[in-house]
Chains A and B, each alone.
Chain A
Amino acid sequence: MTITETAPDTEPGPATVSSLEALATGTDHVFLGRVWAVAGGLFLLLSLAVGILVGIERINLDGADLFGSGDEVFQFWSFYRVGLVLLALVPLLIGLATAVIPLQVGASSIVFPRAAALALWTWLIGAAVTAVGFLADGGLGTPNAGSQREAIALTMVGLLLVITGVLLATVCILTTLVVARVPGMTLRRIPYFSWSMLVAGTLWLVTLPVLAANAVLAYVDLRGRTAVHFGAEDAIWDQFSWAFTHPQVYALSVPLIGIAFDIVPVTAGLRQRNHDVVLAAIGLFGAIGFGAYAQSFFDTPGTPVMEEALYVVSAFLAVPLVLVLLGGLADSLQRGAANFKGRPPAPLVLSLLSMLLLLVGTVVGAVRSIAPFELLERSTTGAQMTFTIGAALVGVIAGMLWWGDRITGRKAPQGLGLLAGLVVSAGVLVIGLSDTITGFLGMNDFFGIDEVTAGSPDGGVEVLNGVAAFGSLLLLAGVLAWVLVEWRRLKGSEADADPWGGHTLEWATSPVSVTSERPLLDAAAVPDEGAS
């Protein structure tokens, strides 16, 4: 007997998914990483635009040129800091980590993909609410109680959502690092960027909840009644400021070290020497970045936390640690000098620049903590933040130029990327140096609209403030150029699977076994006399 089966005329195709549905329901780690990065980039542009306005306002210290009052200046000044850190840098780092880390450890996807998507949307909604809170005359309070209390409460809610989203994303990334590594990849063998995110993420998990506690206290105190203490408008920023100054800024910049150490040895074509020392130095740098204790708002009278040994020692310890790490990079560059042909690649230049900016930031931080200079409340505080956060931003640009081909499958114009990174670095340098000098000249971190609030600084400050405003313009121009790079990448040609000759798993084009921290180097059996 013959059985005849009639095949259907057409095979059922895959269900069509609208782009909006795909955006809202996507859980692929590369996709999530890209959305994090795009959203972080948009908030970066917004923050930098606000920074330019504040910079222009600061040129004339005796009067309001752009804003209506000192309170308005304060709202924009504080938004610039909050935006730069929590709405821009942290999401950019999370985006890079979400996309790259599963590939680096050989995982097929990020662990808890739906939680990772929830984290993204929680953060995004929180970031929008935070921005609206600031624009609706709220923010983190004002010195003269000139803001809307309901809008301040809205800002608190937004910040809590932002922190929740960041923490949830961090849990997903760290869990991927801990449990989803391929066999053979011990924690000592994970790539440097993954290691630095492990360190940074751990610090975020233990410090950002403390910031959330500050927000909840302020919210409970100001909501619907006269504030007793924590929700007083002139007190809110003082409770939050620790998250944007020394030493917490180091916790935010740790990943740039990992980016540099993933890029430099590969471009030098050799294995990083003293691997364990580098891991330990990154861990120690992260440890000194624990800043939740440094809340001067809760100082016991007579014993300010900024004059305590831990605070001062951590400021001084950061400098030799970064020098040790730079020494490691310099060693690789020196040993691999013969391998360089032609111009150095853009990610190499930018990652080294980011490390140098970080070094300058730590030096400024150490100088700031020397009591006789009386710089703790001066604009040097902002200078240290600019150098450190700016360094991390340059590191992110280097990282995107390095891993972008792998993440997007498209080539970026590396020359334009290099130019963008250089302009951003120049902007950071100009702002940071100007603010450091104005700090020595006696200008306060927050300057207000009168000389007294500005700390009655010496002459020449306003010229330097003009220079800093120019630096802000450079910074924005550099970031716009970077956005253009990424835009052109979308239309770029197809990228090679391993354009750099990478050493770690994200560049693997065929299965490899992991027997060291550089599995692809082992697989290629490259003779390496300098290995530790």
Chain B
Amino acid sequence: MIDTTLPAPPARPRTLMVGATMATGAVVMFFGGLFAVYFSMRADAMAWGSEWYPEGAIQLSPGGMNMATLTVSTVAMAWATHSVARNDRIHTYLALALTAVMGIAMINQTVFYLNDIALPVDYSISTTLLFTIVGAHMVMVGVGVLWLGVLLLRAFGGQDTSRHRDLVSAAALYWYASVAVYSVIWIGIYIGK
């Protein structure tokens, strides 16, 4: 009997995914360094009975809103990767645009909050850390939004297809990492104060 089974296609190395994983890992380690400083200095301050933030200075609502926005954006990002895998261009446009809009909303909210907060950056060690960490994360999200913009342009040009979807998957990985980093900010800074 003749074997009519087609040979399996050669495994395609997902070069972009591997590179993006490494780059994203480095970015996460950057925040890891900042978090380590933040939590170790906070623990020292607490151990000495010192005030970390003035009472009522850190509001939970802006951080919570941002967390909710970013959480929903992960669904939109997953929608984009799913759509591009199925060559569904309309849904890809919508999902990428929606994710980018939520990223912009998050940046807008953060800028508003950093301007609104009654503490200057040089008020204390804690505020210096707060502005550095939250600001750096804002930059991370900003880079993600730019990346999504490029993807959207490529999608309009018909270049994001199921055969060339690694750039979307790599962007999704980066986006999920930015949301994971924010979850630490939300819990450690906004909730834990």
Residue positions of A touching B, CB distance < 8 A: 111-112, 115, 167-168, 170-172, 174-175, 178-180, 205-214, 216-217, 220-221, 225-230, 292-293, 298, 300-301
Structural contact, B132 and A206, CB atoms closer than 8 A: no
Min CB distance, B20 to chain A, in Å?
Answer: 9
Question: Given that A206-B25, A209-B27 are contacting pairs, would A179 and B33 also be in contact in the complex, using a CB cutoff of 8 Å?
Answer: no
Q: For the complex of A and B, list the 6 residue pairs with the smallest distance between their C-beta atoms, beginning with the closest.
A: A213-B33, A210-B33, A179-B13, A209-B30, A209-B29, A175-B19
Query: Which residues on B sit within 8 Å (CB–CB) of A214?
Result: 33
The 8 Å CB contact of B33, one of A111, A167, A174, A292, is: A292
Query: Which residues on A sit within 8 Å (CB–CB) of B135?
Result: 220
Instruction: Mark contacts of B124-154 with chain A using CB atoms, 8 A cut-off: 1 yes-contact digit, 0 otherwise.
Output: 1100110110011000000000000000000
Q: In the complex, which of the residues A112, A217, A226 has the most CB atoms of chain B within 10 Å of its own CB atom? A: A217
Q: How many A-B residue pairs have CB under 8 A?
A: 97
Query: Which residues on B sit within 8 Å (CB–CB) of A229?
Result: 125, 128
> Can you name the residue of chain A whose Cβ is closest to the Cβ of B30?
A209
Q: What is the interface of chain B mostly: helix, strand, loop, or mixed? A: helix
A sample of 28 inter-chain contacts (CB < 8 A) reads: A111-B19, A167-B23, A171-B19, A175-B19, A175-B22, A179-B15, A180-B15, A207-B29, A208-B26, A209-B26, A210-B30, A212-B30, A213-B31, A213-B33, A213-B37, A214-B33, A217-B34, A217-B37, A217-B129, A221-B128, A228-B123, A228-B125, A228-B128, A293-B36, A298-B40, A300-B44, A300-B47, A301-B44
Query: Which residues on B sit within 8 Å (CB–CB) of A115?
Result: 19
Distance A207 CA – B26 CA, assembled complex (angstroms): 8
Distance A425 CA – B60 CA, assembled complex (angstroms): 59
- Confirm or deny: B58 has a beta carbon within 8 angstroms of a beta carbon on chain A: no
Q: What is the interface of chain A mostly: helix, strand, loop, or mixed? A: helix
Query: Which residues on A sit within 8 Å (CB–CB) of B31?
Result: 213
Structural contact, A179 and B25, CB atoms closer than 8 A: no
- Confirm or deny: B122 has a beta carbon within 8 angstroms of a beta carbon on chain A: yes
Min CB distance, A298 to chain B, in Å?
Answer: 5
* Given A180-B15, A301-B44, 16 further pairs, Cβ under 8 A: A170-B22, A171-B19, A172-B19, A175-B22, A178-B18, A179-B14, A179-B15, A209-B32, A210-B29, A212-B30, A213-B31, A213-B32, A221-B122, A225-B121, A229-B125, A292-B33
Distance A61 CA – B144 CA, assembled complex (angstroms): 53
Min CB distance, A287 to chain B, in Å?
Answer: 15
The 8 Å CB contact of A171, one of B22, B34, B47, is: B22
Residue positions of B touching A, CB distance < 8 A: 13-15, 18-19, 22-23, 25-27, 29-34, 36-37, 40-41, 43-44, 47, 121-125, 128-129, 131-132, 135-136
Query: Which residues on B sit within 8 Å (CB–CB) of A179?
Result: 13-15, 18
Structural contact, A180 and B44, CB atoms closer than 8 A: no
> Can you name the residue of chain A whose Cβ is closest to the Cβ of B23?
A171
Query: Which residues on A sit within 8 Å (CB–CB) of B32?
Result: 209-210, 213
Distance A221 CA – B25 CA, assembled complex (angstroms): 26
Distance A207 CA – B41 CA, assembled complex (angstroms): 20
Min CB distance, A248 to chain B, in Å?
Answer: 13
Query: Which residues on B sit within 8 Å (CB–CB) of A300?
Result: 40, 43-44, 47
Question: Given that A111-B15, A210-B33, A213-B33 are contacting pairs, would A220 and B121 also be in contact in the complex, using a CB cutoff of 8 Å?
Answer: yes
Query: Which residues on B sit within 8 Å (CB–CB) of A172?
Result: 19
Min CB distance, A400 to chain B, in Å?
Answer: 27
Query: Which residues on B sit within 8 Å (CB–CB) of A227?
Result: 122
> Can you name the residue of chain B whose Cβ is closest to the Cβ of A231?
B128
Structural contact, A171 and B26, CB atoms closer than 8 A: yes
> Can you name the residue of chain A whose Cβ is closest to the Cβ of B14?
A179
> Can you name the residue of chain B whose Cβ is closest to the Cβ of A298?
B40
Structural contact, B26 and A180, CB atoms closer than 8 A: no
> Can you name the residue of chain B whose Cβ is closest to the Cβ of A292?
B33
Min CB distance, B28 to chain A, in Å?
Answer: 8
